[in-house]
């Protein structure tokens, strides 16, 4: 039927076309039932056909000199429709590895985002139909302004069929909901097998794709397939102390909460000292399908815990990031069910540049009692670190007459997980979360509630160190507290009591 007609674009004044049967021996080769005209239209009257299409240069193609190109032409019955989807507009850096959707029967799409859908017929053996493989030289030209198509399995092919009508039908799960209220569907100009879809509300619905041959006297349904659509929220790094308190105090004083919601990624700032593998900080995230892949752009700067397997993902909505070397990299949090739904956080490992006790404090201690002295720990840009749990491993303390004992205290990683779980419970999000007492993760689920703004965080309490001074015997005392940096030098600061 001419519904299987293929059209190949070639300069007609330079090339001539002919068909050659494919057979084991030339003696048994039969004339193919399909035909080709010099207008590059291939037609066949058979349902199953196999031949080679030769493209010859009119000037140099003869018995002694060959300048030809050939393509295998197969005509088969369509079996099903292969559908691919990818986020249409993604104006930011993407993860290095693109994991294809593992569930082809169900698509997870984010609310109010446009997605690009490409439909391709397949035969019973899984071969793509109505396509022409693009030459390497054509790829950059074909996808010059749509580089995202490189992540599609069919991006190396060009749709070449004619007289096929493609349709998309929206089937709402709720019989009382109109299809137009659930999703928008529009056809890309001059590409009738490519569509743009946009989910308008949080819902679950079904898309049915149908290909109909229109060249026959009686239009024929060639193939049909269905996809269940699950609409989710975007994956987001949670606004907690580990990323919100890393700006300098001057920046925090000048900024309003709404101004912090900028296009710049949040920052996870990890200290670097002699114990460079001891420093770590938790990162919390949520949204999407509730299962996540984590990808560190440069594992030489920072690395993930060994518990995370990027091929399997994790259901916990938190992860502990470990610092390794001084530098800056990026961490991607990716929805396991939707590779186009991700968030990114900057991860920086920096040296401690400010180590100073608060001067305006009480300097008298009763015997057998104690006071707390804030210890300011900052980097060279006067920024707080996301966590100081590992600093305890490099802290050294001493006193001259042993009249006081000195102890450094900082919020532990496990306590940060517990505080995060308590904050979410307080606002009514994800009541079924784990308490995170293992220090490695909490369950994120698919909560849509945003944690409270940075104005509610007490950064001095969570991200500053505290020195507890215990009075042992009466008299004046001088103590020292310091840390060992990566050069094995001792950095000290003294206090008199």
* pLDDT tens column, 23-66: 444 444 555 555 555 455 555 554 555 666 665 555 554 444 44
49 token code pair: 């056909």
347, 296 contact by CB (below 8 A): yes
Place of tokens 């994956």: 235
- Cα–Cα distance between 243 and 345 in angstroms, integer? 9
Within a 13 Å sphere around the CA of 316, how many CA atoms are in the beta-carbon half? 23
pLDDT value of residue 135: 73
Confidence check: pLDDT of 254 > 50: no
Confidence check: pLDDT of 15 > 80: no
pLDDT value of residue 1: 31
Exposed, middle or buried, 319 (CB in 10 Å: 0-12/13-18/19+)? buried
Q: How confident is residue 176, by pLDDT bands cut at 50, 70 and 90?
A: low
Confidence check: pLDDT of 6 > 60: no
* DSSP letter for each residue of 58-119: TTT-SSS---EEEEEEEE----EEEEEEEES---SPPPSS-PPPS-TTEEEEETT-EEEEEE
pLDDT value of residue 309: 92
Sign of CA dihedral 138, 141, 144, 145: negative
Residue 183 DSSP SS3:
strand
Confidence check: pLDDT of 412 > 60: yes
Exposed, middle or buried, 478 (CB in 10 Å: 0-12/13-18/19+)? middle
* High-pLDDT (> 90) share of the chain, %: 28
Confidence check: pLDDT of 452 > 80: no
Distances in Å between the Cα of 353 and the Cα atoms of 45, 417, 486, 489 are 80, 27, 12, 13
Residue 5 DSSP SS3:
coil
Choose between 402 and 177: higher pLDDT: 402
pLDDT value of residue 364: 75
Residue 458 DSSP SS3:
coil
- The DSSP H or E segment spanning 202 is none
pTM of the model: 0.78
pLDDT value of residue 280: 92
pLDDT value of residue 148: 61
300, 262 contact by CB (below 8 A): no
Residue 2 DSSP SS3:
helix
Instruction: Calculate the CA 256 to chain-centre distance.
Output: 29
Choose between 333 and 469: higher pLDDT: 333
Confidence check: pLDDT of 70 > 50: yes
Give mean pLDDT, residues 265-271: 92
Cβ contacts of residue 381 below 8 Å, gap of 6+?
Answer: 248
Q: What is the pLDDT of the chain when averaged over all its residues?
A: 76
pLDDT value of residue 480: 85
293 token code pair: 């892949």
* pLDDT tens column, 360-395: 777 777 777 888 888 889 999 999 999 998 888 888
- Cα–Cα distance between 337 and 126 in angstroms, integer? 23
- Cα–Cα distance between 409 and 422 in angstroms, integer? 21
61 token code pair: 């193609």
- Cα–Cα distance between 369 and 481 in angstroms, integer? 19
Q: How confident is residue 7, by pLDDT bands cut at 50, 70 and 90?
A: very low
pLDDT value of residue 64: 42
Give mean pLDDT, residues 222-251: 85
Give mean pLDDT, residues 298-324: 93
List strands edge to edge, sheet with 80-87: 80-87, 114-122, 194-199, 183-187
Give mean pLDDT, residues 447-472: 65
Choose between 192 and 28: higher pLDDT: 192
Q: How confident is residue 472, by pLDDT bands cut at 50, 70 and 90?
A: confident
In this structure, how many other beta carbons lie within 10 angstroms of the beta carbon of residue 97?
Answer: 11
């Amino acid at each position: 039927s001419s519904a299987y007609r293929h059209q190949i674009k070639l300069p007609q004044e330079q090339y001539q076309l002919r068909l050659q049967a494919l057979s084991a021996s030339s003696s048994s080769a039969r004339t193919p039932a399909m035909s080709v005209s010099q207008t590059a239209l291939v037609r066949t009257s058979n349902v199953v056909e196999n031949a080679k299409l030769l493209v010859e240069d009119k000037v140099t193609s003869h018995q002694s000199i060959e300048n030809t190109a050939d393509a295998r032409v197969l005509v088969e019955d369509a079996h099903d429709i292969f559908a691919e989807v990818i986020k249409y507009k993604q104006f930011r850096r993407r993860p290095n590895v693109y994991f294809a959707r593992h569930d082809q029967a169900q698509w997870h799409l984010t609310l109010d985002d446009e997605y690009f859908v490409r439909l391709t017929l397949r035969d019973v053996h899984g071969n793509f139909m109505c396509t022409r493989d693009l030459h390497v030289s054509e790829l950059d030209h074909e996808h010059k302004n749509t580089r995202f198509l490189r992540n599609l399995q069919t991006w190396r092919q060009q749709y070449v069929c004619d007289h096929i009508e493609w349709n998309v039908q929206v089937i709402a799960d709720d019989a009382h909901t109109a299809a137009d209220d659930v999703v928008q569907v529009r056809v890309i100009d001059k590409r009738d097998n490519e569509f743009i879809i946009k989910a308008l509300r949080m819902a679950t619905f079904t898309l049915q794709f149908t290909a109909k041959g229109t060249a026959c006297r009686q239009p024929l349904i060639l193939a049909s397939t269905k996809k269940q659509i699950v609409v989710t929220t975007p994956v987001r790094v949670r606004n907690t102390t580990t990323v919100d308190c890393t700006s300098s105090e001057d920046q925090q004083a000048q900024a309003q909460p709404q101004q912090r919601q900028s296009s710049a990624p949040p920052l996870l700032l990890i200290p670097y000292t002699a114990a460079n593998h001891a420093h770590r900080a938790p990162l919390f995230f949520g949204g999407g399908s509730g299962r996540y892949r984590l990808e560190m752009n440069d594992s030489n700067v920072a690395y993930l815990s060994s518990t995370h397997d990027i091929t399997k993902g994790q259901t916990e909505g938190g992860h502990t990031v470990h610092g390794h070397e001084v530098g800056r990299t990026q961490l991607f949090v990716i929805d396991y069910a939707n590779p186009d739904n991700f968030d990114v956080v900057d991860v920086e490992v920096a040296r401690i540049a400010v180590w100073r006790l608060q001067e305006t404090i009480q300097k008298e201690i009763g015997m057998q009692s104690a006071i707390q002295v804030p210890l300011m720990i900052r980097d060279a840009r006067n920024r707080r670190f996301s966590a100081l749990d590992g600093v305890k491993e490099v802290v050294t303390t001493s006193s001259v007459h042993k009249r006081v004992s000195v102890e450094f205290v900082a919020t532990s990683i496990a306590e940060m997980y517990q505080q995060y779980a308590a904050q979410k419970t307080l606002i009514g999000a994800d009541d079924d979360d784990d308490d995170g007492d293992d220090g490695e993760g909490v369950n994120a689920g698919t909560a849509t509630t945003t944690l409270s703004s940075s104005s509610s965080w007490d950064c001095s309490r969570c991200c500053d160190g505290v020195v507890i001074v215990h009075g042992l015997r009466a008299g004046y005392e001088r103590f020292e507290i310091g840390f060992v940096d990566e050069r094995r030098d001792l950095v000290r600061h003294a206090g008199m009591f």
